[in-house]
Chain A
Amino acid sequence: MSTEFDELLRDGMERFTRDVGVPRGMALKARRHQQKRRAKLRAVTAAGTATALAGAVAAAGVTGAFSSAGAQQIHGRQVQTTAYVVTRVERALAPAAQDNVLGYLRREYRPGSILVPAGPGLLRVSYRPGASSPWSVGYTLSWMYHGTVKVSAFTATGQRIFTDGSTMGQAGPASTVVMYRNGTWWTWTAAATPTRAAQGPAPSSCGPDVLLQPGPGNGWPAFIRHQLSCGEYTLDGRQRVDGIDAIKITGNKGLDTLWVSPATYLPVRVIFTFGPKPTQTDFSWLAPTPANLALLHVSVPAGFRQVPPPSS
């Protein structure tokens, strides 16, 4: 092969590539592609680990509260894709998945919040800044399992205001309310239940009322699931919440911020705003052992007087 041929080949290469220019931002594009690849890899890893975890739970049964430390050891890796995490949370809160967990939550209320039992399992919250009311609430403690919910309301200083225990029976929801301020109690049945229109928005409407009414489509799990479906959310890294290295999810509608366990994808804290200020709710998820199920029972203190339920 002659030198002339070599020159022709090189000239041809020169001509073939002479109009080539490097597009702007190639390095940045490469970085983004690299990050996407990593996110995909992590999602696949997490999916495999979650499947393994589900198998482990099914095999061993739930004998106690989920251990965040143990779960952290199992999971280890941070999940990166928002869609993946949100889907996992929605599945964890689905009715079928709730069979093996008893939810316990503490919700903080801002000063001026009024919480009133408004029907079987129905609590109506409103906000009247500066107003003095016997229903002013500082926080509530709740226990929920299947169709049964118990809510205890306290003042900001820890005085018990009322306890509302509700369950979904064949005839509809029924509840027992114990009022500690005046030593009374009453029962509510479905017949006395206010109409849906009178109750305000259902939890699936992203509205301001939080319905704790037991039964399908209601309660905290349904509420959070719907908030996730009606808002836009993004992952915001990890943050320690009550000792859990929780996955933080921020939203632009519905929930402001949601922290979920990386092991179970169940919520550990949620903050949402249905007024001028956000409110915070912390969750724990317990095994439905007899001792834990007893927490759902509403006991009427001796000497309390039964009264007719108030009209709503």
Chain B
Amino acid sequence: MEPDRAVADLEQFLGERGEQLLRTAVLLAGSKEAGEDLLQAALERLLRHWQTIEGNPEGYLRRTLYHLAADGWRRQRAWQRQFRLLRPGTDTAVADGTAEVDLRDALVRLLMQLPPRQRSVLVARYWEQLSEAETAQLLGCSVGTVKSATSRGLSKLRELSTFSTEHQPAGERTP
């Protein structure tokens, strides 16, 4: 396929499926800007292999997003920087004054503190609603690895969320 044609086809694909992929990227990367960078990197890789990809490129793009997120974050320890950016009170989500909403926001903030593999598994399982087998296939690991990563991730999330709610400043504590 000619390069210009590939770009046009990809733009059309992004118009249809781009938002969902970007939301996944944002969750994997921790912020809107980092998510856009991640999707951009995945698109570059997709274009590089465009001629060898048959059919819908979404599967390739989704796999690349997860792999890049895991690799990049492991290498750059960006998750630690994201953690600093995502401390309570600096997130983009706006609390609506109810305990439930605060807990939702806190959970996402805490999700970013998890190691890349655990975070990827939880995003795949709870955001993409994939089964354990589908998650294993997406991440290129065994079902057992998915199970253990999910278990550890959720445990840590629960642990951190308890710690977080217990240590909120008095003025921000939910009534």
Contact = CB atoms under 8 A, between A and B. Distances in A.
Nearest to B86: A16
Main secondary structure of the interface of B (DSSP, over half): helix
Nearest to A11: B104
Given A16-B93, A20-B19, A27 B43 contact: yes
Report which residue of B15, B47, B108, B157 has the largest number of chain A beta carbons within 10 angstroms of its beta carbon.
B108
Given A23-B36, A28-B7, A9 B126 contact: yes
Report which residue of B6, B8, B23, B40 has the largest number of chain A beta carbons within 10 angstroms of its beta carbon.
B23
A9 B107 contact: yes
A30 B27 contact: no
Contacts of B68: none
Chain A interface size range:
20 to 34
B7 A27 contact: yes
Contact of B158 (A5, A20, A22, A37): A5
B65 interface: no
Contacts of A96: none
Interface in A12-59: 12-13, 15-17, 19-23, 25-31, 33-34, 37
A22 B25 CA distance: 11
Contact of A34 (B44, B108, B126): B44
Given A27-B7, A27-B10, A27-B11, A16 B92 contact: yes
A5 B160 CA distance: 14
Contacts of B32: 19-20
Contacts of B44: 30, 33-34, 37
B164 to A, nearest CB: 13
Contacts of B126: 6, 9-10, 13
Interface of A: 1, 5-6, 8-13, 15-17, 19-23, 25-31, 33-34, 37
